[in-house]
A and B are shown apart, each in its own frame.
Chain A
Amino acid sequence: MNDLTAPECINESRRHFLKIGAVAGGGLLIGFHLPLASRAGEAEAAASEFVPNAWIRIDTDDSVTLRVASSEMGQGVYTAIPMLLAEELECDWARIKVEMAPADKAYTNPLIGQQLTGGSTAVRAFWTPLRQAGATGRDLLIRAAAQTWKVKEDECRAENGVVVHKTSQRKARYGELAALAATLPVPSEVFLKEPGEFKLIGKSTPRLDTPRKVNGSAVFGMDVKLPGLLTAVVARCPVFGGKPRKFDATKAKSIAGVRQVLAIQSGIAVVADNFWAAKQGRDALVLEWDEGANAKQNSTGIRKQLEDALKKKTVSARHEGDTAKAFKAAAKRIEAVYEVPYLAHACMEPMNCTALVKPDSCELWVPTQGQTGAQLVASKITGLPPEKVKVNTTFLGGGFGRRGEQDFVAEAVELAKATSAPVKLIWTREDDMQHDYYRPATLNRLSAALDKQGLPIAWQHEIAGASIFARVFPNSIKDGIDRTSVEGAANLPYAIPNLQVTWSMDNGAVPVGFWRSVGSTQNAYVTECFLDELAAAAGKDPYAFRRTLLAKHPRHLGVLELAAQKAGWGNSLPSGRARGIAVAESFGSYCAQVADVSVERGQVRVQRVVCAIDCGMVVNPDTIVAQMESGIVYGLTAALKGEITIQDGRVVQSNFHDYPLLRLDEMPEIEVHIVKSSEHPGGVGEPGTPPIAPAVANAVFAATGKPVRRLPIRV
């Protein structure tokens, strides 16, 4: 296990981005500029160079501090990222300290180009660079020991925070070696362990955040405490795009504890000594809104708009073969319209942000997925350069894409600037539900042709919906296609020779955003359910039908077969039960699920879900199981309950009584099977979500004989 001659050698261009430095008093710092944040000229690292934003810090007292630049929102990065660093560093896992990284270019997520936790990228993005940083530390410490003992480096090995001289059994602790290690040049090459040598990676490791999450001491954004902290609640126009026309704050100001009532960009803010006073103050505001152009919007009208969009504004996302010709040659033609509603994220912790603005600095305490974005929005509002904005990332009470947005950060910074005091902005549940960036509603027209053998020879999928990129990354829209809108549809894996997927962008008044698994959440549902309709029309078993069409996609096939086998696909079910299957690739991982459901008196009950996941190499297996359970529950709420509707330009739903979540008594039995793989790690936060809605809907189809073409499922 101590062998440093593993073959995965870091190439020349990468090692240059590493930096090492000394801690005052004799410690070692290891950090780097990721390629995106670096220029060739600044890369040569010198000994004793100051490394302000290191990933690893080793102090003379042997303490090892590992930094996590990805936000912990339940998905387990607070443990998985240190595992990557510690595996190669060979430090003592029991003695590490973990801290959240500040916002800094050194912590850029190389798959995204900014410090942002999203797209199930954390482990995928940092898999190589962080192990490389750890290996560099190990190498430096070994060389420091070899120098001290005047022995050859290859006679030394590192283990559990100690370097050992193999022949003499002399030992030196990392803390003793750190000062000397910090003076050594960055190694010209570092070797990474082979997977067979991993001690931590691949072993279920208790989460480092759990102790704080069972005794109330974990600090979420809501829990930030500062001297002189004020609390703000904002009244926003209920109609999207509306503005305040006038307001009377007399009554609000008469409430004990209310300090100020301020007009900000998004509405009217009540700033008070505590939440309850602020909330009462807001309730006491007399408000008149200019509801603007969207006051007449409603869900029926939005659906009509999507129908119109399908008729006129189509661009091609994928086109193979000649669909028109294939349809003419069809033995059978199947057509369907599928639709999904808007969905709210509904994180258990409503949006919030604490900010303090001083003349020359700004500091944020915020449960955010987007540190770079938070820094930029605060910079814009305060006029300070981004590096003067310090971002303290707290634990996130759920994220699911919602916390990559900066609307709540902007409000807090505006208020902190206006009051010159630390301000905690708190959204109520109703604010959170009614001012979200929703999972887009989409309308899908599908048609397919089967040949005489019942095999599909043509597939046409037309999608209409709002684009998320149009708002957040407009430059990423290529040839009229927002790739997040067609993901899960344009990459249909099935062997169908003539295939066309089109997209019609229709950006309405309802703001849309990234929602756990993004496009794949609705497209996997639509495509996997329509595929079951084809199987039914062909008189074939849905599992066998998929297998035939996935022959050239071994990873899809692998999870499909594993899930089917573990679920006992083909075995008879107790009466009143039916079974459905679905498979989806998303975020670099492959996931198949089999759902057993019962349909009784108009109620769908999911009894059991068997999930197979191929996410490449596995870092923390128990976290992967948890994330599959989590993705399934999130998707089940959407499949069975979730729907945001619009009336008079505003969201109808307001809290969990009318936007219900899956409850414990509705929880199916879930079994997760992880495919053993040596592929590069894939995502795990999101890939569990896409297959569940179609697996359940296909089971309902099997039970009732009626395809489920609209979510949430109603029977």
Chain B
Amino acid sequence: MISLSVNGEARKLEVDPATPLLWVLRDTLGLTGTKYSCGIAVCGSCTVHVDGTPVRACVTPLSAVANKSITTIEGLSKDSSHPVQRAWLALDVPQCGYCQSGQIMTAVALLAKNPKPTDADIDQAMSGVLCRCGTYSRIRRAIKQAAELQSKGGAT
């Protein structure tokens, strides 16, 4: 039995503790917003927050997050009102959309730590999250817009 909090809800899970968090979220808890793409922590599509820090859920065993607090894309806001989501909407960032949960969760973590990121900061934080559709220019712009929104008190 492993206890953890997922999007603010306490969970007790009878799952093999070696199971990657990604598959616990998707298959056990039905939270399919977090995506599988590479399975080896090189693409970032599965990024979630563990106690506020972005981690690659595809290589994080459930045992490593016992008693920790997980936030997934579904838990970011109830109504897509997080400044990052609002900026993503305003700039129509996604194309196919598959990598976007990972992009958004990584961007949220960046802005939480660094409310006014420079281009170099954005490069460093975001370059490990791959997008095959080429939404990178919009991601960069949206992060800057989200930073603006956040500074105006839009943080959730």
Binding site for B on A (CB under 8 A): 72-76, 206-207, 209-220, 222-223, 225, 231, 256, 274-276, 346-350, 395-400, 426, 428-430, 622, 626, 629-634, 637, 655-657, 661-667, 669-670
| A513 smallest CB distance to B (angstroms) | 16
* A273 closest partner in B (C-beta): B27
Closest 9 CB pairs of A and B: A216-B33, A633-B134, A397-B98, A74-B95, A74-B96, A213-B97, A216-B73, A223-B32, A665-B123
Distance between A620 CB and nearest chain B CB, rounded to angstroms: 10
The reply to whether A396 and B96 contact each other, CB–CB distance below 8 Å, is yes
**Chain B residues within 8 Å of A655, by CB:** 38-40, 42
Please determine whether A206 and B134 come into contact, CB atoms closer than 8 angstroms.
no
In the complex, chain A residues whose CB is within 8 Å of the CB of B104: 214
Residue of A nearest to B26 (CB): A275
User: What A residues does B88 contact at CB under 8 A?
Assistant: 210, 214
State whether B99 touches A348 (Cβ < 8 A): yes
Where chain B touches its partner, the secondary structure class is: loop
Closest to A663 in B: B127
B30-A214 in contact (CB<8A): no
A219: chain B residues within 8 A (beta carbon)? 32
Q: A215-B85, A657-B40 are in contact. Are A274 and B132 (CB under 8 A)?
A: no
Given the interface pairs A231-B27, A275-B27, A656-B130, the reply to whether A218 lies near B137 with Cβ below 8 Å is: no
Q: Tell me the B6-59 residues at the A interface (CB within 8 Å).
A: 16, 19-20, 23, 26-28, 30-40, 42-43, 45
Inter-chain contact B134/A630, CB cutoff 8 Å = yes
A675: shortest Cβ distance to chain B, in Å? 21
Shortest Cβ gap from A669 to chain B (Å): 8
Residues in chain B near residue A276, CB distance under 8 A: 16, 19-20, 23, 27
A-chain residues with CB within 8 Å of residue B27 when the two chains form the complex? 231, 274-276
Residue contact A348 to B43, C-beta cutoff 8 Å: yes
24 interchain pairs (CB within 8 A)? A207-B92, A210-B88, A210-B93, A215-B76, A216-B74, A222-B32, A274-B27, A274-B28, A347-B96, A348-B37, A348-B130, A349-B37, A397-B35, A398-B98, A398-B132, A429-B37, A626-B138, A630-B134, A633-B133, A655-B40, A656-B43, A657-B40, A663-B128, A664-B136
A-side contacts of B19, CB under 8 Å: 276
* Chain A neighbourhood of B35, CB < 8 A: 220, 222, 348-349, 397
- Closest beta carbon of chain A to B107's beta carbon, Å: 11
In whole angstroms, what is the CA distance A206 to B138 when docked?
A: 14
Residue from the set B20, B27, B33 with the largest chain A CB neighbour count within 10 Å: B27
Residues in A with CB closer than 8 Å to B127 are: 663-666
Residues in chain B within 8 A of chain A (CB atoms): 16, 19-20, 23, 26-28, 30-40, 42-43, 45, 72-74, 76-77, 80, 85, 88-89, 92-101, 104, 122-124, 126-140
Main secondary structure of the interface of A (DSSP, over half): loop
Contact A216 B43 (CB under 8 A): no
- Please, which residues of chain A bring their CB within 8 A of the CB of B135? 626, 629-630
What 9 new A-B contacts, CB under 8 Å, besides A74-B96, A661-B131? Answer: A74-B133, A215-B77, A225-B32, A274-B28, A275-B36, A348-B45, A397-B37, A634-B133, A657-B42
Do B96 and A349 touch across chains, with their CB atoms under 8 A apart?
Answer: yes
The CB with the most chain B CB atoms within 10 A, among A215, A222, A428, A626, is that of: A215
Most buried by A among B42, B104, B140: B42
Nearest-Cβ distance from residue A630 to partner chain B, whole angstroms: 4
Select from chain B the residue with minimum beta-carbon distance to A657: B42
Contact residues in B for A622 (Cβ distance below 8 Å):
92
Which of A217, A630, A632, A661 makes the CB contact (< 8 A) with B95? A630
Q: Do residues B94 and A210 form an inter-chain contact, with CB atoms below 8 A?
A: yes
Instruction: Decide: B98 and A220 in contact? CB cutoff 8 A.
Output: yes
Whether the pair B30, A667 counts as a contact (CB closer than 8 A) is: no
Per the bound structure, the CA–CA distance linking A216 and B82 in Å amounts to: 13
Instruction: Give B53 Cβ to nearest chain A Cβ, in Å.
Output: 19
* B123 & A348 in contact (Cβ 8 Å cutoff): no
**Judging by beta carbons under 8 Å apart, are A395 and B32 in contact?**
no
Q: In the complex, what residues of A have CB within 8 A of residue B74's CB?
A: 215-217
Known A275-B26, A428-B39, A429-B37; judge A348-B98 contact (CB<8 A). Answer: yes
Tell whether A216 pairs with B95 under 8 Å between CB atoms, given A276-B27, A428-B39: no
Measured in the bound complex, the distance between the Cα atoms of B92 and A436 in whole Å is 30
- A201 CB to nearest chain B CB (Å): 17
Residues on A with C-beta less than 8 A from B129 are 664
Count A/B pairs, Cβ under 8 Å: 184
| A608 vs chain B, min Cβ distance (A) | 11
| Most chain A beta carbons < 10 A, residue from B77, B80, B95 | B95
- Interchain CB contact under 8 A, A210 and B92: yes
Q: A216 near B30 (CB under 8 angstroms)? A: no
The CA of A425 and the CA of B40, in the complex, are separated in Å by 20
Q: Given the complex, which residues of A lie within 8 Å of B89, measured CB to CB?
A: 206, 210-211, 214
Q: How far apart are the CA atoms of A703 and B89 in the complex, in Å?
A: 40
**How far does the alpha carbon of A347 sit from the alpha carbon of B130 in the complex, in Å?**
11
Cβ B96 vs Cβ A397 within 8 A: yes
Verify A397–B32 contact, CB threshold 8 A.
no
Evaluate whether A429 and B23 lie within 8 angstroms (CB atoms) in the complex, with A209-B94, A214-B88, A664-B123 already known. Answer: no
Q: How far is the CA of A346 from the CA of B38 in the complex (A)?
A: 10
Q: Distance in Å from the Cβ of A673 to the closest Cβ of chain B?
A: 15
Complex Cα distance A220/B33, Å? 9
Expressed in whole angstroms, the Cα–Cα distance for A487 and B66 within the complex equals 56
**Bound complex: CA A666 to CA B23 (Å):** 31
Q: Which of A211, A218, A225, A667 contacts B136 (CB 8 A)?
A: A667
CB distance from A701 to the nearest CB of B (A): 24
In the complex, what residue of chain B is closest to A397 when comparing beta carbons? B98
Q: Give the CA-CA distance A399 to B74 in the complex, in Å.
A: 25
Considering residues A206, A256, A397, which has the most beta carbons from chain B within 10 angstroms of its beta carbon? A397
A633: B residues at CB distance < 8 A: 131-134, 136
Contact A215 to B80, CB < 8 A, known contacts A74-B97, A397-B98, A664-B129: yes
B134's contact among A210, A212, A632, by CB below 8 Å, is which? A632
Instruction: Specify the chain B residue showing the minimal Cβ separation from A632.
Output: B134
In the complex, how many angstroms separate the beta carbon of B95 from the nearest chain A beta carbon? 3
Contact at A626–B132, with CB atoms within 8 Å? no
Given A348-B43, A349-B37, A629-B137, also A213-B94 (CB < 8 A): yes
In the complex where A429-B38, A667-B137 touch, is A348 in contact with B23 (Cβ < 8 A)? no
Q: In the complex, what residues of B have CB within 8 A of residue A75's CB?
A: 95
The distance from the CB of A182 to the nearest CB of chain B, in whole angstroms, is 36
Report yes or no: A350 in contact with B37, Cβ–Cβ below 8 A.
Answer: yes
In-complex Cβ contact of B132 among A207, A217, A346 (8 A):
A346
A347 touches B132 (CB 8 A): yes
Chain A, Cβ-Cβ closest to B84: A214
Query: Are A395 and B97 in touch, CB under 8 angstroms?
Result: yes
Which residues of B lie under 8 Å from residue A399 when comparing CB positions? 96
Q: How far is the CA of A449 from the CA of B36 in the complex (A)?
A: 53
Report the Cα distance A167→B28, complex, angstroms: 62
The residue on A at minimum CB distance from B96 is A74
Query: Smallest CB–CB gap between A8 and chain B, Å?
Result: 30
CB-defined contacts of B39 to chain A, threshold 8 Å: 428-430, 655
Contacts of A209 in B (CB 8 A): 94, 97
Partner of B100, one of A214, A429, A430, A637: A214
CB-CB < 8 A to B99: which residues of A?
Answer: 348, 397
With contacts A216-B34, A276-B23, A657-B40 taken as known, whether A348 is within 8 angstroms of B96 at the C-beta atoms is: yes
B69 to chain A, nearest CB (A): 18
Shortest distance between the CB of A206 and any CB in chain B (Å) = 6
| Nearest residue, chain B, Cβ from A272 | B27
Residues of B within 8 Å of A76, CB to CB, are: 95
CB neighbours (8 Å) of B124 from chain A are 665
Cβ B130 vs Cβ A626 within 8 A? no
Instruction: Quote the shortest CB–CB distance from B17 to chain A (angstroms).
Output: 12
Residues of A close to B123: CB separation below 8 A: 664-665
Quote the shortest CB–CB distance from B79 to chain A (angstroms): 8
Give A666's nearest chain B residue, CB to CB.
B127
> Do the beta carbons of A214 and B130 come within 8 Å of each other?
no
